[in-house]
Structure 1
């Protein structure tokens, strides 16, 4: 499912971007295309504000009116006139008009790198967001010129009042399309639109603090802001471990007018927000990370409520999410299916602790093929510190809502499914009724059931919805097929080598008998 957009030329844009094929690896397309969109956006915002200021200094009714040209010029060149409206100052050689004028020059790649450099020099808080990678690339100058011409269309112009919104939507579109072409690698920075939409609809972030410690390109923040009926009543905090992905996320939130604090670092080993307590934690962390560095954690780490294991970071992520919730907070996150039933000694005790202490609110089993990065089914966990009836929520500490949505979704391509809007609303409404008791959640065989915590304990603490709703259960250890095949392949090759060595040994022994 592609990002929503009021544009009808997405395919033209993407086809033009992929003309770089042969010069740049497909996985690197985004590092050239997306910064250009961002540069165009910053330039447009600057041009729009500059025109506003030009009108203000000439308007006698304005607080900024000046009768002489010298004073007018001083006001127009004051950086605070831009920054006060969250507009970055764009120097002449970074403005789109200058870049377009020089698009056909043989040194256009150098001009672009210099434009990025000058923007960062003028605006220190953009440091690290604007890569200087064009001049050192194999991209032909004519391909770069072609990209500039694409983003010089009238619909992207500062003269078009829709341009800022359209650039944001085009950026989202490109992120989803690049993720699709990259397959498993794409899943590192992009969570499918329908999955994010379901998480957001179920959590209902309206006001307060939203935290995503595996924020990728920032999609969770964008949809959370769109969901909230009151603009700018949410504050966003995120952490991302991959430099280039963090850059995409920072550009994405700025393109959508969000004030998000995204920091670079490993969330599990170097928490950049140690004191943050959020109203909502929403995330799609990496699945089944092994060798993630469990031995580097201090035994008195305040996040720990149980053991950790280096063979999988799944339950360390859960402890991290839980730690960052305030006393009324909710967390909704994607998790590998294996987390619902794991008996690993470093994981099961934590699952038991969450169940025993009444923090598991809802589990949703999702269909397979929703994710670009893996064909396996995954699930959604919802944990809450507000299950004892505080505020508008009902008391439900001894209940857990199970939803089996494995039969939902439909194919939107040969390899990928998406949940429809109706399916998302159906699942979200069940959870809302469960939390607020607007309507009693009726058990639906094979789909949903509210089960007592005691029943979960009696079922060996299993959290698979099929165990409770009555549908056929499919065991899954949560390991992607590609990883399993690679392990099997390596093992088979090792056995071939052992077989060959054994044959040689037998052959030598036989020769010794003759």
Structure 2
């Protein structure tokens, strides 16, 4: 199983990064590569739509139409925008950039393409970075990357069925910028976690809100889950301006236009009156000194005290506040939040349990996030546990799922869930949410627990406390461990071999 099985051009991305090596910091690679890929796929969508229009003209026409008349139809902007495709003016097209790739002004032409697109479409305003002209990247390097992205492998990928920019972003984080995977406790959400959250939440209609939206991966997967039904509205907040631009580009590539505002979510909530059907997020883990003292005591989001030593429970209070009656929230949290005895945090956890908001907790395996070994979990809060809206009554009961033994190591530092595992976990939760049968447990995996038992355990909500331990024979454990170790060793050797090949090729190029 490959970590990046949903993109087929990882070797080309490695080559693009190799061209940037020594010019800019590895953590900056994505900032220059992703906008170029965006332009490439925006133009590709334009060309696909252009061919569709041409085919319709030919099918409907008994006689040959005048070339000028055909050209007029092909240049009709409305023919593109009505199917959520941008009409791309010539000087903003990938074809134009490729034709001028060897020009001394190529970096300026790229920035100009961004400016043209922003002036043409309100949806793109302030979304595209004009960073190439003033960069210290040589023209020939930019030219090489444009030519690289013009290869056939990029032209055959329509970018529609996968969170393309998110996956490329993930690729650069994991391969070239280990510190970028962790920005002050903030960890990029791998695709299998995004898929699991969305599969369990089942966003079909209404507002999907992510107050720490990053590159918009939660929005892309939610839209895919709803089969692009256009019944979802996407709202998010993000502190980093460049990340917002990437999120907007990501959304546009998939035909959605998320409303994202910049700001510190906890201290400067940009959507104070928002109530969403679905809240989904991977907030920064264990944020210290986040500014709790600046929070007003009458802040409407508060259901209990907060502490400046850790922002986890402020995030949880924020999620609950923005959840609409009948809605469902699902989010990633550090495992420590499930058992914390810190007075303020435990007080909020008691409130959530006693007032029947906690619906399900999923314990995740280790090594699910790039750049951190912090154990993590998923918590689902519900404002629909009374049996309404075709849901089962789940009052005073919480479902615990221990998925810590699932997933597959794809290298020494990263583990992912398979599609089958995502479906299995989601099905267990959906069965609880919609049917809630009497006997509902599997030793070591999942268990439905009455809150009286949770109160006895001092409101600790770690799944393994309630699911028990799965029994495995010594032979099974030993065999699995050996296979896993050999698999990792072989993959590491393949990776080193690839790096050596690239280094040899680079040395040969330098000799020419």
Structure 1 length-normalised TM: 0.83
2:287 and 2:312 in contact (8 A); partners too: yes
Match of 1:265 among 257, 263, 266: 263
Task: Check if 1:451 corresponds to 2:452.
Answer: no
Distance between the aligned counterparts of 1:101 and 1:56, measured in 2?
29
Return closer, same or farther for 1:452/1:55 CA change in 2, 3 Å cut-off. Answer: closer
Return closer, same or farther for 1:349/1:57 CA change in 2, 3 Å cut-off. Answer: same
Task: Count the aligned residue pairs.
Answer: 465
Return closer, same or farther for 1:229/1:114 CA change in 2, 3 Å cut-off. Answer: closer
1:208 and 1:234 in contact (8 A); partners too: yes
Distance between the aligned counterparts of 1:440 and 1:142, measured in 2?
67
Q: Residue 24 of structure 2: SS of its match in structure 1?
A: coil
Return closer, same or farther for 1:49/1:205 CA change in 2, 3 Å cut-off. Answer: same
CA displacement at 1:306 relative to structure 2: 1.1
Counterpart of 1:165 in structure 2 is 160
Q: Residue 442 of structure 2: SS of its match in structure 1?
A: coil
Counterpart of 1:241 in structure 2 is 239
Q: Residue 160 of structure 2: SS of its match in structure 1?
A: helix
Listed one character per residue, the Cα deviations across residues 463-482 of structure 1 (whole Å, up to 9, x for unaligned) are 1122222349xxxxxxxxxx
1:41 and 1:255 in contact (8 A); partners too: yes
2:236 and 2:259 in contact (8 A); partners too: yes
CA displacement at 1:385 relative to structure 2: 0.4
Q: Residue 344 of structure 2: SS of its match in structure 1?
A: coil
Distance between the aligned counterparts of 2:378 and 2:187, measured in 1?
18
Distance between the aligned counterparts of 2:317 and 2:352, measured in 1?
10
Gap runs ≥5 in structure 2: 471-512
Q: Residue 330 of structure 2: SS of its match in structure 1?
A: strand
Listed one character per residue, the Cα deviations across residues 286-330 of structure 1 (whole Å, up to 9, x for unaligned) are 011112122222222221111111211111111111111111111
CA displacement at 1:353 relative to structure 2: 0.5
CA displacement at 1:122 relative to structure 2: 2.4
Counterpart of 1:42 in structure 2 is 42
Distance between the aligned counterparts of 1:186 and 1:254, measured in 2?
24
CA displacement at 1:436 relative to structure 2: 1.3
1:404 and 1:446 in contact (8 A); partners too: yes
Distance between the aligned counterparts of 1:126 and 1:376, measured in 2?
37
Distance between the aligned counterparts of 1:52 and 1:211, measured in 2?
35
Task: Check if 1:95 corresponds to 2:90.
Answer: no
CA displacement at 1:244 relative to structure 2: 1.4
CA displacement at 1:148 relative to structure 2: 0.6
Counterpart of 1:2 in structure 2 is 3
CA displacement at 1:173 relative to structure 2: 3.2
2:163 and 2:250 in contact (8 A); partners too: no
1:430 and 1:441 in contact (8 A); partners too: no
Task: Check if 1:11 corresponds to 2:11.
Answer: yes
Distance between the aligned counterparts of 2:79 and 2:199, measured in 1?
38
Q: Residue 209 of structure 1: SS of its match in structure 2?
A: strand
Task: Check if 1:367 corresponds to 2:362.
Answer: no
Distance between the aligned counterparts of 2:442 and 2:153, measured in 1?
49
Alignment of 1:83-482 (within 5 A): 83-157=81-155, 163-165=158-160, 170-181=164-175, 182-187=177-182, 188=186, 190-229=188-227, 231-437=229-435, 440=438, 442-471=440-469
Return closer, same or farther for 1:92/1:353 CA change in 2, 3 Å cut-off. Answer: same
CA displacement at 1:52 relative to structure 2: 5.4
1:240 and 1:266 in contact (8 A); partners too: yes
1:268 and 1:317 in contact (8 A); partners too: yes
RMSD over equivalenced CA pairs, Å? 2.8
1:171 and 1:252 in contact (8 A); partners too: yes
Q: Residue 343 of structure 2: SS of its match in structure 1?
A: coil
Larger radius of gyration: 1
Gap runs ≥5 in structure 1: 473-514
Counterpart of 2:488 in structure 1 is none
Return closer, same or farther for 1:277/1:16 CA change in 2, 3 Å cut-off. Answer: same
Listed one character per residue, the Cα deviations across residues 245-304 of structure 1 (whole Å, up to 9, x for unaligned) are 111111111112223222222211222222221111111000111121222222222211
Distance between the aligned counterparts of 2:227 and 2:57, measured in 1?
35
Q: Residue 211 of structure 1: SS of its match in structure 2?
A: strand
CA displacement at 1:344 relative to structure 2: 2.0
Distance between the aligned counterparts of 1:361 and 1:43, measured in 2?
45
Distance between the aligned counterparts of 2:43 and 2:105, measured in 1?
21
Q: Residue 350 of structure 2: SS of its match in structure 1?
A: helix
Q: Residue 132 of structure 1: SS of its match in structure 2?
A: coil
Return closer, same or farther for 1:409/1:135 CA change in 2, 3 Å cut-off. Answer: same
Distance between the aligned counterparts of 1:169 and 1:362, measured in 2?
27
Distance between the aligned counterparts of 2:235 and 2:375, measured in 1?
28
Alignment of 1:473-492 (within 5 A): none
Return closer, same or farther for 1:71/1:408 CA change in 2, 3 Å cut-off. Answer: closer
Counterpart of 2:20 in structure 1 is 20
2:237 and 2:263 in contact (8 A); partners too: yes
CA displacement at 1:383 relative to structure 2: 0.7
1:184 and 1:372 in contact (8 A); partners too: no
2:360 and 2:379 in contact (8 A); partners too: yes
CA displacement at 1:115 relative to structure 2: 1.6
CA displacement at 1:61 relative to structure 2: 7.1
Moved more, 203-212 or 41-50: 41-50
Counterpart of 2:475 in structure 1 is none
1:288 and 1:313 in contact (8 A); partners too: yes
CA displacement at 1:56 relative to structure 2: 7.0
Distance between the aligned counterparts of 2:30 and 2:119, measured in 1?
23
Distance between the aligned counterparts of 1:358 and 1:403, measured in 2?
18
